[in-house]
Structure 1
Amino acid sequence: MKVLCLHGKGTSGYIFRSQISTFRAKLPDDIQFDFLDGPFKSDAAPGVDVFYSPPYYAFWENDGIDSIRATYTWLTDHIDKNGPYDLALMFSQGCVLGSSALLLHQEETPHLPPPFKAAVFVCGGASLNVLEEMGFHVSAEARERDLASRSALAQQAGSSALLAQGGDRWTGLQTLDGGLSEAELRNEITCPYRINIPTVHIYGSKDPRWAAGVHLSGICEPTKRRTYDHGGGHEIPRTNAVSNSIAELFQWAVAQSQIEQ
């Protein structure tokens, strides 16, 4: 069992390994994790430099469609040389890359096996630019929320907020998300087709990027997806209850990846 691991912007494969250590300890020992570093050096993600030293990486320098396509080519080359992978585990920007890879694969090489057989997305969404390029309709409300959530994330995740408020800094994006159900959010993006491999979607209701995670779940096949709200912010909580739940969902994805062979 081989797992491709894609970190968040301004972190690294080493940092991602640390971030998942609590739930990973609950998994079988025969799972091989491959932690990539993004191809571009980056500033630290907000709050990351409080706990981790450089280097920090990103998967692209801007999120335009051409940059994402270039990184998709880079990722495909890595998979060709080091795969195949049964599963991908992704956080934040890693989710953008992983979902883009699946969508671009369906557009360009649908006759070939997908880059991985199942996916676990944590606290991340899809690229709205890629979705629109692929013929998805993204509502104006989804676009507005996407822009506002990026700014809110930088503020709530930053070092000053972390040191001053700790876990209480996570307040989500209440002005735009308040009162909306997950089903209503999923309807904000109209899909001509869906990602068709088994997927797990883990997000936190206090994360400013919560809606992005829900949107991503909406473009994946409903009969093959599982969702879980860990109740926190833009993070992977290390409590025993959350770790057990994530480990259980991860093992569901592992089992599904074997069925998909």
Structure 2
Amino acid sequence: MKFLCLPGAYGSAKNFRVQLGPLADELERRGLATFAYSQGAHEVEPPAGWEDYFGARPLYRFLDTRHGDNFENLRRLRHMPYSINAEDAIRMFQDTGKGDDWHQPVWREAMDDVIKKVDEHPDVDAVIGYSEGAMVGASLIVEEGEQERRTGRKRRIKFAVFISGSPPLKFEGEDRVVALLADQSGVVIDIPTFHIFGCNDAFMGGAVALYNVCDPSKSAMFDHGLGHIVPRDAENVRMLADILEKLIPEVEGRSSRQGETESETDKSTAGSETSESSA
């Protein structure tokens, strides 16, 4: 299985390779996965006071935030009360930021860019995303499903690992982009998913809201007990690799069986069309 790796906001492919390194190295050592690293298209400066937090520059985002959606929005989310459910927390976050709405073309550009990245790697069949990268990865899965229904383009992503993520986005009205939430949209991600988060994450509500829009029969979760990070310590890496050593072969086996079924269906359809033509 080959993962397209999508870093968080104010990240980069280079920095994410370091963040994910211990887990990626262990999965490669076990022969379970390989990795292609990507990043957003928009170079950004870290927020004031966070100059040394995000690692070596240059830093990037998937979203062009010159039209709004600045770091202040994240500060709002950090102060959401824990007593409300994840969906209400996300709605409150969106409502407090209405004056900072960023335009739909910004989101369309981000989606087109990540789909281009998938097309550049024909062997990619999975995605692993952290924070903003997890939101983009989740949205990619939804977008692939819509494109398959609309144009017949085959879906590529068969498995997703989300680290401290947030729910996928959708267009609303003339200009807004808002989250897909379980109490409004139900399950929108039907492929197998693995959700990694920490109980001390200030943005825990986003990770829960993302889990809630995934098919629960195909989803697993792991709490590493820390904050909004990619876990790198030896114990967590070993436990995560053990779980993925079970999940990845299951996904690959399911995908193989599905491919065989589709192949048989195509052959049957082709045979019927030949018979009708001969008649």
Q: Could you say whether these structures have the same fold, taking a TM-score greater than 0.5 normalized by the shorter chain as the test?
A: yes
**Residue aligning to 1:113:** 154
Q: Name the CA distance, whole Å, in 1 between partners of 2:156 and 2:122.
A: 9
Mark the runs of 5 or more structure 2 residues left unpaired by the alignment. Answer: 66-101, 257-279
- Does residue 10 (structure 1) correspond to residue 10 (structure 2)? The answer is yes
Mark the runs of 5 or more structure 1 residues left unpaired by the alignment. Answer: 139-186
Secondary structure of 1:28's match? helix
How much does 1:114 deviate? 2.2
Change (3 A) 1:248 1:69: farther
Q: Name the CA distance, whole Å, in 1 between partners of 2:203 and 2:22.
A: 23
How much does 1:257 deviate? 3.2
Contact 2:164–2:198 (CA under 8 A) maintained in structure 1: yes
Secondary structure of 1:19's match? helix
Matching residue within 229, 233, 242 for 1:235: 229
Matching residue within 123, 148, 164 for 1:84: 123
Q: Name the CA distance, whole Å, in 2 between partners of 1:27 and 1:137.
A: 31
Contact 1:5–1:36 (CA under 8 A) maintained in structure 2: yes
**Residue aligning to 1:40:** 42
**Pairwise mapping of residues 183-198 of structure 1 onto structure 2 (< 5 A)?**
189-198=183-192
Contact 2:4–2:128 (CA under 8 A) maintained in structure 1: yes
Q: Name the CA distance, whole Å, in 1 between partners of 2:244 and 2:121.
A: 22
Contact 1:118–1:253 (CA under 8 A) maintained in structure 2: no
**Pairwise mapping of residues 1-261 of structure 1 onto structure 2 (< 5 A)?**
1-29=1-29, 30=31, 31-44=33-46, 47=50, 49-50=52-53, 52-62=55-65, 64-110=103-149, 111-129=152-170, 138=181, 189-258=183-252, 259-261=254-256
Paired residue total: 212
Contact 1:42–1:56 (CA under 8 A) maintained in structure 2: yes
Q: Deviations for 1:178-232, whole angstroms, at most 9, x for unmatched residues?
A: xxxxxxxxx6x33344211110011111111111101101101111000111111
Secondary structure of 2:113's match? helix
Secondary structure of 1:202's match? strand
How much does 1:134 deviate? 10
- Considering only CA atoms, is the larger Rg found in Structure 1 or Structure 2? 2
Q: Deviations for 1:130-173, whole angstroms, at most 9, x for unmatched residues?
A: 599899874xxxxxxxxxxxxxxxxxxxxxxxxxxxxxxxxxxx
Aligned sequence identity (%): 25
Tell me the amino acid that sits aligned with residue 137 of structure 2. Answer: G
Tell me the amino acid that sits aligned with residue 20 of structure 2. Answer: I
TM-score normalised by the chain length of structure 2: 0.67
Q: Which piece of structure 1 moves more, 46-55 or 12-21?
A: 46-55
TM-score normalised by the chain length of structure 1: 0.72
Q: Aligned-pair RMSD on alpha carbons?
A: 2.7
Q: Name the CA distance, whole Å, in 2 between partners of 1:113 and 1:8.
A: 27
Contact 1:198–1:224 (CA under 8 A) maintained in structure 2: yes
Change (3 A) 1:23 1:32: closer
Tell me the amino acid that sits aligned with residue 55 of structure 1. Answer: P
